Amino acid sequence: MSDDKEAQEDELLALASIYDEEEFHRAEAAQGGEVQVCVELPPDFRVVTKGDKQTEYNVCFLPPLVLNFEFPEDYPSTSSPQYTLGTKWMTRAQMSALCRRLDELWEENQGCVILFTWIQFLKEEAVDFLCISSPLEIHRAKYSSERKKSEPVSEKREDKSYEVKKQAASSASPHVAAFDPRAVALSDPRVELLPQLLDHDEAQRQRLFDGKVFCCGICFSEKMGAACLCFKECQHVYCNTCMSEYFQIQIKDGNVQCLNCPEPKCSSVATPLQVKHLVSEELFARYDRLLLQSTLDLMADVVYCPRMSCGTPVMVEPESTMGICTGCQYAFCTLCKMGYHGVSHCKLPTEELRDLRDEYLAASTEGKKFMELRFGKKVIQRAVEESFSRDWLNENCKNCPRCGTNIQKVDGCNKMTCTSCKQYFCWLCMGVLSRGNPYSHFNNPQSPCYNQLFFGVDPDEGDEFFSDDED
């Protein structure tokens, strides 16, 4: 009996030295414990969901097989360890087959400690033993929410709801038999299995990454993966220090769409979670806000409330020009951003007529029709006529410095008389001239227009310049 006790203690100590705390946990009140066995998968292993649309995911890790055990007093000399075996992704039939194989291994090695042999079998041979191949098909539960709430889930229904369909042995195989009571289903049929598989795979990949050493592609320092960032799409690795500075600069400049991999010509983009881990809460809030805004800007059915104090994004019905802000309840036209005016044409401020003319003249035939429906043909025509008139006035006329009347210089010297208020002024500098001696402006050496009374005048026009001083 003392030999069995010593062998048990030695085996538990050996397991504790071989496996870390996440893989092996020793029981406190009994001679036993729990081992989580990570099953080795073949390369490029995939899981696939069956339903309306088939989707495949590459995985490197699946949730572990959980082996709970307790030593009887006469182990290992006579009795086998008492155990249960469970996992989330196998059927009870498959786990029952594994239990029978563990029993066979004990019979082959009776009298010797057996746990390490069991663990190695589950880790290295379980997939081949059960003839599991890629892709692993996962079938979703098909029960209605009412049945989930009102009916207890039996073990048989649990197996069917999350049956993991694989290429197993034929019905004549000893693998297909009654369920072993030691085979425990750890999955909850009311919870989706696929997200659990993918989350576990992601966590194990990150754990593996954290334990490796990488050379940063920016500062060329060697650091542990736990201090580095790996872009998901391209797998390029950079240290957190370099990427933190890079992200901060881009976010401060408002370039939230440009948090991509620094590798030249690489289009991989950092995930929001990666950004959150490397910048302050204030910067991440700015990043999150700008990213949402840029996303909304790309959506054709989203406009912003035109009130400066609001700016709430507003969803617009297809082919509708009315938006109602959910923040301030303002009803507005989505085209002109003014108060909603029903079927009436959009009103345009006078100062925008020139822009309207340019847009109309540059538009396609369909674009011109849309603008005519939006503003009305008369508004478009007035915009074109008035803007052309304004262009002509700007090119050929100047405003009287006293009353602002448009004055056109047809001929004569540079002393001008306003046709409206009769004020004398200089055509060159637009300065006001005295009524008593308006020509002193052109005769004074201190004047900017000295000796320029006839500057710019065609000499072929002759003496007619001197016929009337008031012209």
pLDDT in tens, 246-299: 999 989 888 887 788 998 888 888 988 899 999 999 999 998 888 877 776 666
Report d(CA 32, CA 12) in Å as an integer: 8
pLDDT digits (tens, 9 = 90+) for 86-138: 998 888 899 999 999 999 999 999 999 999 999 999 999 999 999 998 888 87
Q: Out of 413, 418, 426, 429, which one is annotated catalytic?
A: 413
For the domain covering 2-200, report its CATH number.
3.10.110.10
Report d(CA 58, CA 48) in Å as an integer: 9
Query: Which residue spans within 101-255 are E strands per DSSP?
Result: 136-139, 164-165, 183-185, 213-215, 222-224, 228-230, 237-239
Residue with tokens 């306003």: 418
Please enumerate, as own/partner, the contacts of 25-30 that have beta carbons within 8 Å and a separation of 24 or more: 27/70, 30/70, 30/71
Assess whether 449 carries a catalytic annotation. no
Residue 356 identity: L
- In total, the chain counts a number of residues equal to 471
Domain boundaries, the chain: 2-200, 211-297, 306-342, 350-396, 407-471
Residue with tokens 């503003």: 375
Q: What is the pTM of this model?
A: 0.53
- According to DSSP, residue 269 is labeled B
For the domain covering 211-297, report its CATH number.
3.30.40.10
Cα torsion for 91, 93, 99, 100, to the nearest 10°?
-160
Task: Name residues whose C-beta falls within 8 Å of residue 419's C-beta, 6 or more positions apart in sequence.
Answer: 405, 407
Tokens of 452: 């320029």
Nearest to 400 by CA among 424, 377, 369: 424
Q: Is the dihedral of CA 307, 313, 319, 323 positive or negative?
A: negative
Tokens of 203: 């966590």
pLDDT digits (tens, 9 = 90+) for 149-176: 444 443 433 343 333 333 333 333 444 4
Report d(CA 168, CA 170) in Å as an integer: 7
Pairing of strands 46-50, 136-139: parallel
162, with CB counted inside 10 A (0-12, 13-18, 19+), is: buried
For position 9, what pLDDT does the model report? 93
**Over its length of 471 residues, how does the chain's per-residue pLDDT go in tens digits?**
688 899 999 999 999 999 988 899 999 888 899 999 999 999 889 988 876 567 888 999 999 999 999 999 999 999 999 999 999 888 889 999 999 999 999 999 999 999 999 999 999 999 999 999 888 887 665 443 333 444 444 343 334 333 333 333 333 344 444 789 999 888 777 788 888 888 999 999 989 999 999 999 899 999 999 999 999 889 999 999 999 999 999 898 888 877 889 988 888 889 888 999 999 999 999 988 888 777 766 666 778 888 888 888 888 877 777 888 988 988 988 777 788 888 776 766 655 666 676 777 778 888 777 777 666 766 667 666 666 656 666 677 888 888 888 888 777 888 889 988 888 899 889 998 888 888 888 898 888 999 988 887 766 544 444 444 444
Contact 31, 115 (CB under 8 A): no
Q: What percent of the chain has pLDDT over 70?
A: 79
Q: Is the dihedral of CA 204, 169, 98, 94 positive or negative?
A: positive
Report d(CA 33, CA 25) in Å as an integer: 6
